[in-house]
Amino acid sequence: MFGKLMKHEFQATGRSLLRLYGIMLVLALMTTMAMRLFDLNQGWQGSVVGYIMIAYGLSVFAVAVGVFIILTLHYKKNILGDEGYLMMTLPTGVHSLLLSKLLTAMAWYLLTGVAMVLSVLIADSSSIDSAFFHDLVAGLHHIFSQSGALSVLLRVLLAMLLFASLITLLSYAYYSLEQSFRKHKGLYNFAAVVVTLVLFRLCGWISVNYHINAGLAAREVQILTPIDYAQLIGLNLLMYFAAWWALSKRLNLE
Amino acid sequence: MGWTFREDLPIYSQLVDEMTRAIVSGAYAPGERLPTVRDLALDAGVNPNTVQRALSELERSALVYTQRTAGRFVTEDRAVIAQAREQMAANKINEFLHEMDGLGFTREQIGALLAAQPKKDN
Amino acid sequence: MEYILECKALTKRYESNLALDAVDLRLAPGRIIGLLGPNGSGKTTLIKLANGLLTPTAGEILIDGQKPCAQTKAIVSYLPERNALPEWMRVKQVIDFYADFYADFRRDAANAMVAQLGLEPTQRIKTMSKGTKEKLQLILVMSRKAKLYLLDEPIGGVDPAARDYILRTILSNYSEDATVLISTHLIADVEQVLDEVIFLRNGRIELHESVDAIRDERGKSVDALFREVFRVDGRSND
């Protein structure tokens, strides 16, 4: 059942997302071809290459933002719109629905990262030669030979995953709670903004205090302290629970 | 959709009348297999339970019998069919006479009117 | 006897409005039942409570003895008032969807009915007319071999030919051990298909009887009785 939910989620979201990737990759291709075909020193040719590069750059930005927007709007439409009459009467629990959507979103975020890197490689392919890969391997080797580098990398990755999951769950919770208010939508939005600001301020305050009380020297660099991870996880759980609660107990479609 | 029914009588009893008429007039021949409950329900556009109830009534009046696994059949007993036919005729005549009485006709006048009717080629 | 649907003092209150008021109801298996009432009488609320889209304010509702949950959803087939099928899907995909999630889905029956309707498997739902979408949804719902069918206003706003199609589809997919609950305010068209009727007004059950009994005892059709009971000319109905 869970696998099927994910399969359908991929199908439903893939249509828009793959088109978005497609545009970005096409522009990346155009960039690399423009770099090879045009002479940058000739006035008008240089401009053409410039415009293509700008378009490509914008498409990368569009993908980064678009992934989140597309997935969030899909959630709203699929669970809280007319399709909700179909989805919320499936023989499955709310947990499965939420988790399948969250995991699919995370997969798309990873895929987006890969697609972006790929597009950069394509766009910049004219500067890729045998030396590039040699330097890349050497660079990576250098980084990983540093003690603790791997651990830093993993922690950054973990933090990024937790953050990505948080903003996703935040939007799920926001929309799920919103639909339970037939009237007073304005009040809800106001409250949602206030609560979000208060929460993040609170977390920031806790984090700073931890830093001070842990007596960390100003020079010591910690990407994120354990308390930050705890907060990220806590906020994730809070948002998940809010979405789950709204869908289980306060569902009120149209 | 389906057959039309009167508003003031239960549908199952109207089905009974309709099917009796069909049997008596020979539309369903003696011994012929009746359509299934589902088919009749679909054809008439009525609830299958209603059809079931009507068929049970017909079974009770021996116009129809069930052979387990084979289905429902019109009785082969022509005497029963003949009797049902007589009963229907009697009902119709009573209805007719009741109406004519209400219009103020005497039996003689009714008889004269009937005699004056052009003969129907059978 | 196990009732397929049971309501015990079922109450649903929205912020300012009491949609259902301590409703007691028992539905037996194997019946086609009409849930009749004017708009706003609580019909849709009752149906949504039955398939877990709403939670009761008080009292309880049981499907085959259980509170609405994933297991009850597996035996309840629901036709919503609006089109809930994803617009981007093709006919084949939406059939696959139902087959994926519902073990009781009869794919062959669905394919046959879809073909009969003249639909191609590759057609997108987005391109279909409103009437066709409704029929497709009905086909999918009735292709499931469920224990309880909840049809919310299946014939409202449809032309007479479509109405016939819908009623015929309901009848031909009827199974003796299943119960079909049809909510509507167009009684004349469905009356001959119904075993029992429930009159719902302002969240309360005014009447729950068999169609035969109403005709027998009152000498009038359910439609006529409904018009009497729900007269809107200001005169008292007591």
Structural domain boundaries of chain B? 11-77, 79-116
Six-digit token string for A240: 């998940």
Contacts of A140 (CB under 8 A, 6+ apart): none
**Which stretches of chain C sit within 8 Å of chain B by CB?**
30-32, 163-164, 167-168, 171-172, 174, 176, 189, 192-195, 211-212, 215-216, 219-221, 223-224
The helix, strand and coil proportions of chain B, stated in percent and rounded to the nearest 5, come to 60, 5, 35
CB atoms within 10 A of CB C56: 19
To probe the interface with C, which of B42, B47, B50 has the most C CB atoms within 10 Å?
B47
3-state class of C8 per DSSP?
A: strand
Q: Do B38 and C30 touch (CB under 8 A)?
A: no
DSSP letter at B67? Answer: E
Q: Any idea which residue has 């019109």 for tokens?
A: B74
Rounded to 10 degrees, the C-alpha dihedral B99/B100/B103/B109 comes to 180
Cα separation, A159 vs A156, in Å, equals: 5
Question: What ipTM, to 2 d.p.?
Answer: 0.92
Intervals of chain B under pLDDT 50: none
What pLDDT does A43 receive? 77
Distance from CA of B92 to the nearest CA of C (A): 21
What pLDDT does B1 receive? 67
Is the confidence at residue C226, as pLDDT, over 60? yes
Q: B74 burial class (0-12, 13-18, 19+ CB within 10 angstroms)?
A: buried
Residues of A in contact with C54 (CB under 8 A): 251-252
Do A38 and A49 touch, CB atoms closer than 8 A?
A: yes
Predicted confidence band of residue C1 (pLDDT cuts 50, 70, 90): low
What pLDDT does A74 receive? 96
Is the confidence at residue C126, as pLDDT, over 90? yes
Cα separation, B118 vs C10, in Å, equals: 68
Distance from CA of A146 to the nearest CA of C (A): 50
Six-digit token string for A186: 């304005």
Fold of B11-77: Arc Repressor Mutant, subunit A (1.10.10)
What pLDDT does C238 receive? 47
Intervals of chain A under pLDDT 70: 214-223
Higher-confidence position of C135 and C176? C135
Do A1 and C101 touch, CB atoms closer than 8 A?
A: yes
Six-digit token string for B14: 């109207």
pLDDT tens digits for range C44-66: 999 999 999 999 999 999 999 99
Q: Do B10 and C194 touch (CB under 8 A)?
A: no
Q: How far is CA A247 from CA A64, C47, C102, C128, in A?
A: 28, 18, 21, 31
Please, do chains A and B touch (3+ CB pairs < 8 Å)? Answer: no
What pLDDT does A214 receive? 67
Cα separation, C184 vs C195, in Å, equals: 15
Domains along chain C?
Answer: 5-84+146-229 (3.40.50.300)
Distance from CA of C222 to the nearest CA of A (A): 31
Q: How far is CA A62 from CA A22, A204, C24, C179, C237, in A?
A: 12, 29, 55, 51, 64
Q: Which of A82, A92, A93 sits opposite C84 (nearest CB)?
A: A82
Closest CA to B75 of B54, B59, B51: B59
Residues of B in contact with C194 (CB under 8 A): 47
DSSP letter at A38? Answer: S
Q: Are strands C5-13 and C58-63 parallel, antiparallel or unpaired?
A: antiparallel
Q: Do C52 and A254 touch (CB under 8 A)?
A: no
pLDDT tens digits for range A13-43: 999 999 999 999 999 999 888 888 877 777 7
Q: Map out the domains of chain A as residue ranges.
A: 1-128, 146-254
Instruction: Tell me the residue type at A227.
Output: I
- Rg of chain C, C-alpha, whole Å: 18
Q: Which of C168, C215, C219 sits opposite B1 (nearest CB)?
A: C168
Rounded to 10 degrees, the C-alpha dihedral C77/C83/C88/C90 comes to 50
φ/ψ of B62, rounded to 5, equals: 65, 15
Do A90 and A247 touch, CB atoms closer than 8 A?
A: no
Predicted confidence band of residue C85 (pLDDT cuts 50, 70, 90): very high
What pLDDT does C201 receive? 92
What pLDDT does B50 receive? 92
Q: Do A251 and C54 touch (CB under 8 A)?
A: yes
Give the nearest chain C residue to B53 (CA atoms): C212
Q: Are strands C76-79 and C148-152 parallel, antiparallel or unpaired?
A: parallel
Q: B38 burial class (0-12, 13-18, 19+ CB within 10 angstroms)?
A: middle
Six-digit token string for C159: 């032309």
Is the confidence at residue C78, as pLDDT, over 60? yes
Q: Do A89 and C101 touch (CB under 8 A)?
A: no
